[in-house]
Every structure is written in structure tokens, then in C-alpha cells.
Amino acid sequence: MTLPLLTLHFAALTAGFLLDLLLGDPHWAPHPVRAIGRLIAALEPPLRRVFPSSDRGLLAAGAALVALVLLIPTALTVLLLYLCGLVSPWLAFAAETILCYQLLAARSLRDESMAVCRALEQGTLDQARHAVSMIVGRDTERLDRSGVAKAAVETVAENAGDGVIAPLLFLAIGGAPLGMLYKACNTMDSMVGYRNDRYLYFGRCAARLDDVLNFLPARLAGLLMCLAAPLAGLDGKNALRIFRRDRKNHKSPNSAHTEAAAAGALHILLAGPNYYFGQLVVKPTIGDDDRPVEPSDIRRVNRLMLTTAALAAALFSLLPLAACLAAL
């Protein structure tokens, strides 16, 4: 990639990041992640029919799903940018900017979690439970006000990694095509990467690949969140302490890193036992029980998430962009 193209690449990432902060994810607009979700749903039934229903057959079917879902969106992204580049590098820049914008989720994460905060502060507990049920997988009918706030805080903290920092990193390294590949894998994991009777074997390849792709970004996101905590008016020293102590307190090798940093920065206790589909699931706790979780913690964790995202964007795009411009 030549220096002018590199400059446009990092400029597209910066512009896409700013568009995400400004516009979020309008639900009426077409979105590549929703298209990937429809592709996964469309491919699953025929793959299950083609491959044997044995454990090994389901593993093979899941591997085929991964190959197709990674290949199709990534190839289409490469083709789109190539065709736009034939017309004009500025058209390719515009296309990559829009794709970068759509592959990031900082604003939508903030908006959806703040709907929970508003319901807790201005509405009823039932309204707050309904709002948080839109963004978490646990059962919400048993949650009290502190439990609802805690669920929203955990969602923002965890998704800061795979919804914001990881896409930023992959977009910086390989542009929209690599960003699309990452989101395809992440979407597969969210749809089929479950350890239940239906997906234990069929979704295993998607889940393992998602673990591999998120290994470095999750740890980087946790460290960046510790660095961002004092910039967000929170306790960076305690964030680093809890990050180092509790970042492995999860079955997933990647999920607890940003939760640990956020719990330390806010001086609250996250994770622990919760009900899923009527069954109590015991999980390790993350953080210290210094005080009860309150609705205002949703605001604080969003401030921390956005500060971390801005710090990551500066490291991944603004600094390389400045270096490219200086070399021109």
C-alpha cells in the first residue's frame, strides 16, 4: 500500500470513528452486521442437512459455516473497495469510511445502556427490567434496581472490547476487509457459539476462532481502559489492580479483561451468580464490593468506555495518520 493510500486508510478509520460517535446505528438503515446475521441464519439449515448429524459431522458443518461466513462478506468488501477505487480513490475513501463507521458500536452501546439508566431514574422497575433485557442474555425478571444497573454496567464494560476496541484494531491493521472478517466471526460467535445441545459441536469452530481473534484485543482493551480511567475521572490505580487480579475470572479467556478494569475503576462488584433461562449459573465475581451498584454507574462506565475508545482511536489511527501526513 502506497503512502497516499495509507493516509486515506487511516483517515477513513478516523472519520468512521467520528461518524459512529455522532450518528450511532440508525435501525432503519441497512447494516452489514445484520446482513451477516441473516447469512448465518440462512446457511445453518442446509449445512445441517448436508453433513451427518454425528458429533464429527456437526463439527464439519460448523467449520464450513465459518469458512463461508468469513469468505463471503470479506470478499464482497474487497470487491466493493476495488471497484470504487477504479472510479476514484476518493470514492474508495468514502466507502471505507462508511464501512468503518458501521463496524463500530460505541454510540449504540452508549445509547442502549443509557435507556436503562433513564428507566431506572425516571421510570418503573419493570420498565428498567425490560430495557436491560434488550441488551443482556440473563433473566431479568428477578433483578432489583441495583441488579439492573449492574447488568447494564457489565454489558458496556464487556462490549467495549469486542464492540469497539477490537474492531478499531482490526480496521487499523487491515482496513474494512479485515474489520468485516472480525465482525463476521464475532457475529457467528454470538449466534452459534453456545455450549448447549444445539450448538455444542456445530458452533465450536466459530467460538474457538472468536477466542483466538479476541485474545490480543481483549487484553489491550483492558490495559487501555486502565489508562483511560483517570482521564474519565475514575480510579486508574484500582482499575489496574483489579484488572491484574480478576481479568481471568470468566469461562471465556477474553470476556473479563474490560469488566475487571471497569469494576476497579468504579469500585464495584460485577459478575457472580445469575439466572439464564430459569437456571442459576454460578460465576466468579469481578472487583470488590466497596459499595452498591447504582444507576449513575451506567453513566460512569459509558464515560470510561468512550474515553477508552478515544484513546484507542488516537493510538490506532490518529498517530499513524499524523506519521503518514508528516512523510508526504
77-109 confidence digits (pLDDT tens): 999 999 999 999 999 999 999 999 999 999 999
- Of 105, 4, 97, the residue nearest 309 (C-alpha): 105
What's the average model confidence in pLDDT over 27-39?
91
CB 73 within 8 A of CB 181: yes
Residue 1 confidence (pLDDT): 62
CB atoms within 10 A of CB 267: 17
Q: Bridge-partner residues for 270, per DSSP?
A: 286
In 3D space, the residue among 214, 298, 151 whose CA is nearest the CA of residue 206 turns out to be 214
pTM recorded for the entire structure? 0.93
- Strand, helix or coil at 273? coil
Residue 274 has pLDDT above 70, yes or no: yes
Task: Identify whether the C-beta of residue 205 lies closer than 8 Å to the C-beta of residue 59.
Answer: yes
CB 249 within 8 A of CB 256: yes
Question: Which position has the grid cell 441495583?
Answer: 146
Comparing CA positions, the residue from 153, 126, 171 lying closest to residue 258 is 153
* Residue 118 scores a pLDDT above 90: yes
Give the residues across from 281 on adjacent strands: 274
Let me know: does 243 contact 223? Beta carbons within 8 Å: yes
Q: What is the pLDDT of residues 275-307, one digit of tens each?
A: 777 788 888 999 999 999 999 999 999 999 999
The three grid cell numbers given for residue 143, joined into one nine-digit string: 433483578
Cα Rg for the chain, rounded, in angstroms?
20
Angle at 183 between CA 261 and CA 91, to 5 degrees: 115
Q: Is 266 exposed, middle or buried, given 0-12, 13-18 or 19+ CB atoms closer than 10 A?
A: buried
Q: Is the pLDDT of residue 229 over 90?
A: yes
> What secondary structure letter does DSSP report for 162?
I
Q: What's the first-to-final CA gap in the chain, in angstroms?
A: 14
14 touches 20 (CB < 8 A): no
**Segment (H or E) for 60:** helix 55-87
For residues 77 and 74, what is the distance between their CA atoms, to the nearest angstrom? 5
pLDDT at 6 over 90: no
d(CA 106, CA 116): 16
Please report the pLDDT score of residue 140 as a whole number: 85
